[in-house]
Amino acid sequence: MLTREDHPSPTEPSTWGFTASTGLPFTHQTIVDAHFRACIEPYRNLLNQAGIRPGMRVLDAGCCGGDFLPWLAELTGPHGRVSAIDLAEEHVTRATERVRSWHLPCPVDIRQGSITQLPYPDDSFDAVWCSNTVELLTDDELRAALREMRRITRPGGLVAIKDVDGYSFAARPGDPYLFTDLFRTAGATPGYAQQVLRTRDLYQWMRETGLHSIRQHTTLIEHFAPFTTDVRSYYAPAFAELAAQAKKLGLTSPDWDTLLDPAHPNSPFNHPDGYVCEGNTLAVGTA
């Protein structure tokens, strides 16, 4: 993640909630853990498509509390090595404690720092994995982060980025244009919403940074009633936060009031035909 000093003053309602010590939205461990549990199977499938192989040296760039580290260690195996970096001190502390208790099959080292200024020598890694992190970067910071990922990746190595696609949010019952209206309005000014809408353009950003042989696809992650506890634990508060931002922006659909209150009888989380959806884009380039 970027440094707190690097992040500009918000020009939109960017106190979106669930901030960690960095002040960045949707980075608090509670919401990150809930998101991971709600999407665990598609997240694993996306990581498996990144191209990480046994024996690789891999960096988890923006590791948060370390949820992906066991899977990365499993993919690299006993002859590989995994490193991880995150801006938030509390994330690094938690990831370090968890790694000590997991007894992973390969060495794992974790440090605090920014992905816009990675503290590693050139050509240090065979692959970089970066999940749900570049949505937090301004355009200039994204360019800097991609240049850094390319710099530390050996020639022929991989840079894999997975992130949320703002165009894919949906909830039923509800107005099919509800989230489109929110992100169109909020994304009119620089900030978090605009950055989440940038995800499907990652292939262009990667190409402009000098990566090549880029492949990209977007996966829909769909959940249907009756929802599991994990799905409800993430999407109910997350969608309530989006509804709160919509209200701040003056959007008046009554569906926002419904999403603000997960106990509402017409909420997707209480409706027999309830449905929630998000999209995740995986973009992989070669250094």
Tell me: the pLDDT tens digits for 232-287? 999 999 999 999 999 999 999 999 999 999 899 999 999 999 999 999 999 999 99
Contact indicator for 216, 202 with CB cutoff of 8 Å: yes
pLDDT of residue 12: 38
List the beta bridge partners of residue 218: 281
SS3 119: coil
Please, what are the domains in the chain? 29-286 (3.40.50.150)
pLDDT of residue 107: 96
pLDDT of residue 145: 98
Structure tokens at 271: 């409706």
pLDDT of residue 8: 37
Output the CA–CA distances (angstroms, integers) from residue 225 to 170, 222, 270, in the order listed.
14, 10, 8
Contact indicator for 255, 58 with CB cutoff of 8 Å: no
Structure tokens at 31: 């919401």
Residue 135 has what DSSP assignment? G
Largest CA distance in the chain: 56
Report, as ranges of residue numbers, the positions in the chain whose pLDDT lies below 50: 1-14
pTM: 0.93
